[in-house]
Amino acid sequence: MSRREYKTINRRIQQGRIASIREGKWIASTAPYGYQRIKIINDKGYTLQIIPEQAEIIRLIFQLYLYGEQQTDGAFKRLGRQAICKKLDDMGIMPATSNKWSPSTIKDILQNPVYIGKVCWGKTIEKKVMIQGKTKKVRMKNSNFQMYHGLHTPIIEEDIF
């Protein structure tokens, strides 16, 4: 009986999380770079608020990736993820959780729809697979994830994204 009750409670919690995502609320414990998590006034849940200094860095990353930096002859040279990391490190800009920027961090920033004002659910799924005769749970990317309009202000315009 307790196992059945646990499953019922867990199902209700998961339905509540999905309902919050549909409303555009932020349910994760940490905010992505450029945002801070704040409590919604007169309502349950959280949303994201822009940190202006970090938002400028996000805009710079997108600008360097799309257009590049201006050369001495006036032309623009596009930069890859590794070159963006090196430029940010040389400028003395620190990432949120480490000492240096990494290409995977830049890739995650460039692919994160939260910067255009969206919230996502189900980007990764967990599947059970047989590996050497044992059942293991493996996390995989899901191409059919759900995306909703968030309550937060976007940093990047959708056409740039």
List beta partners, residue 69.
77
Which residues fall within 8 angstroms of residue 58, CB to CB, at 6 or more apart?
33, 34, 109, 115, 155, 156
Which neighbouring-strand residues pair with 36?
Answer: 49
Q: What is the pLDDT of residue 83?
A: 87
User: How far is the C-alpha of 65 from the C-alpha of 155, rounded, in Å?
Assistant: 16
Q: What's the pLDDT at 8?
A: 95
User: Residue 108's closest CA among 53, 159, 58, 38?
Assistant: 58
Contact 33, 95 (CB under 8 A): yes
Looking at residue 65, what is its pLDDT? 87
Contact, 37 vs 26, CB < 8 A?
Answer: yes
Mind listing the pLDDT tens digit of every residue in the chain (161 residues)?
Answer: 899 999 999 999 999 989 989 998 988 888 898 899 889 888 888 889 998 998 999 998 898 888 877 777 777 778 888 888 888 888 888 888 888 888 888 898 898 899 998 898 888 888 888 888 889 998 988 888 888 998 888 888 888 87
Q: Can you give the pLDDT at residue 160?
A: 80
d(CA 82, CA 64): 11
Short-list 13, 20, 16, 21, CA closest to 114: 21
120 and 15 in contact (C-beta within 8 Å)? no
Q: What is the pLDDT of residue 15?
A: 93
pLDDT of residue 94: 84
